Structure 1
Amino acid sequence: MTARATSSPVGTVTRGTTNPNRLRRMDRWIAATHGAELRRAADPVVVDLGYGAAPWTAVELLHRLRTVAPRTRVTGVEIEPARVAAARPYERDGLTFRHGGFELPVAGRPVLVRAANVLRQYDEAEVAAVWARLCGRLAPGGLLVEGTCDEIGRRHVWVALGPRGPRTVTFATRLGSLERPSDLAERLPKALIHRNVPGEPVHAFLRDFDRAWASAAPYASYGARQRWIRTVRDLVAAGWPVTDGPARWRQGEVTVRWEALAPRG
């Protein structure tokens, strides 16, 4: 099979900022939560959409996913032709690079699409249409992971979506660098970052997160990890629909159902 033609890629050129190991938290979460689906897939195709000025994130994604699903194939997709040309020397078994955008110039339906720091420059009103377009290309059981992180990957927030739309929001951080959970607000995905205001669910969640963090201060004597775990337990007790458990919390993560944080209206 051949890939789709990409004479007119859909999207706009991003800044292209990237760094080695920047997306490690997202990669590890994907491997842990979606590895089984990749192993079951007849053709485990993965797209790293908008990998940036250098191909490091695509190279690392292939390595991390092959530890849990050895047949995984990754295609890095970039809308800037010069970036694709620069990445081509890094192609290897299971890793290719293509010129394109949101139309996803790959054959078949991907089992996973990762779009990190791609929508940050877009308007909030454009996000739903981009999500729908990308989710419409997913294989049954496929996953779109879209989010934002800082330059060295210490703080990261992403939304996981299936063919029918958003499912969860994950907050991930290097706990040793965290003063309070609401520090993650600056890394909210475009769909949520402008909704961190009173009256919106994500604002209420971060407020409760900070309060639980403050209440868990005595656990800091056992380390930041134990304080984080205690904090998340308090969020669960307060009724927030956390979908993961201590194994992920220990990584400095917490995942919440999308419906609990979705923008009003």
Structure 2
Amino acid sequence: MPARRPPPSTRPVGAATRGTTNPNRLRRMDRWIAAVHGPALRRCAAPVAVDLGYGAAPWTAVELLHRLRAAEPRTQVVGIEIEPTRVEAARTYERSGLRFVHGGFEVPLPDPSVRPSVIRAANVLRQYDEEAVAAVWERLCARLAPGGLLVEGTCDEIGRRHVWVALGPEGPRTVTFAARLGSLDRPSDLAERLPKALIHRNVPGEPVHAFLRDFDRAWAAAAPYASLGARQRWIRAVRDVCGDWPVRGTGADGLRRWRQGEVTVDWSALAPRST
């Protein structure tokens, strides 16, 4: 006799993804979360971070715990997966501060009274329709603790190229482009890793297309800096696009992020035009 399916009210919200993952795949996103959101974690009475849709193996949740605890040692991490077999397999990796639970976009936590300070959803919405993104964002943001952060984005299989959107309870705030600079011919190579909300908008007339076009032009103009290394060329190109685009962190903090191969732009400047 086939197993009985749970009633609709108890089924996880969402659909299973392919679940592909690799160790260190999300290091760029983790590094950014720890640096940018670390002060907020330290202000929390009991900071909890969620690795939503960690995939067929729990490496990314284990790594998230390690990286966020470097910023705030009290951080707890909960890995959430919609496939029960993945949850059972991951439980052998549980330790103090790390738990795995079955669920989806409803973001169930072991303590129902807790709301997460961080939800990281990497390579999850890539397999959904663009029209589904806004509702998922709204649902996830509603689960955040006050001052919480949702980070949703896409990267390649080994984490060399990554683009993510950062959202608060009020909605989207910024878009961050991050790369191993030696892997890029030009900044627009990152277009293939745009999150679902933007990847189909990389066409003439859309802001994200215009930004990547201008970034490529700045990269070309910064070619003389290539003799000093890809990092110096990237920094020069970012400085140039700051004149026309609202790049976050143009002081010393911003320079540290640029040196990591990152640039963060206000969401309002890149948001898709209404259709």
TM range (shorter): over 0.9
TM-score by length of 2: 0.94
Matching residue within 72, 76, 92 for 2:95: 92
The DSSP-based 3-state class of the residue aligned with 1:15 is: coil
Which residue type is aligned with residue 124 of structure 1? E
Residues 1:243 and 2:255 aligned together? no
Residues 1:231 and 2:234 aligned together? no
The DSSP-based 3-state class of the residue aligned with 1:104 is: coil
Spell out the pairing of 1:1-265 with structure 2 (5 A cutoff).
Answer: 7-106=10-109, 107=112, 108-237=114-243, 239-244=244-249, 245-265=254-274
Q: Deviations over 1:122-164 (max 9, x none)?
A: 0000000000000000000000000000000000000000001
The DSSP-based 3-state class of the residue aligned with 2:273 is: coil
Q: Deviations over 1:171-215 (max 9, x none)?
A: 000001110000000000000000000000000000001000000
Counterpart residue number, 1:3: none
- The CA distance in 2 between the partners of 1:241 and 1:13, in whole Å, is 36
- The CA distance in 2 between the partners of 1:53 and 1:82, in whole Å, is 9
Which residue type is aligned with residue 264 of structure 2? T
Which residue type is aligned with residue 242 of structure 1? V
Structure 1 stretches of 5 or more lacking a match? 1-5
Report percent identity of matched pairs.
80
Query: What is the CA-CA distance between 1:43 and the residue it aligns to?
Result: 1.4
Q: Deviations over 1:190-242 (max 9, x none)?
A: 000000000000000000010000000000000000000000000012x2000
Moved segments of 4+, more than 2 Å: none
| Matched residue count | 260
- The CA distance in 1 between the partners of 2:30 and 2:119, in whole Å, is 12
The DSSP-based 3-state class of the residue aligned with 1:83 is: helix
- The CA distance in 2 between the partners of 1:84 and 1:39, in whole Å, is 29
- The CA distance in 2 between the partners of 1:55 and 1:75, in whole Å, is 11
- The CA distance in 1 between the partners of 2:162 and 2:26, in whole Å, is 8
Query: What is the CA-CA distance between 1:63 and the residue it aligns to?
Result: 0.1
Structure 2 stretches of 5 or more lacking a match? 1-8
The DSSP-based 3-state class of the residue aligned with 1:84 is: helix
The DSSP-based 3-state class of the residue aligned with 1:144 is: strand
TM-score by length of 1: 0.97
Which residue type is aligned with residue 146 of structure 1? E
Query: What is the CA-CA distance between 1:7 and the residue it aligns to?
Result: 2.6
Q: Name the Cα RMSD after superposition.
A: 1.0
The DSSP-based 3-state class of the residue aligned with 1:67 is: helix
Which residue type is aligned with residue 196 of structure 2? K
Which residue type is aligned with residue 247 of structure 2? V
- The CA distance in 1 between the partners of 2:200 and 2:190, in whole Å, is 13
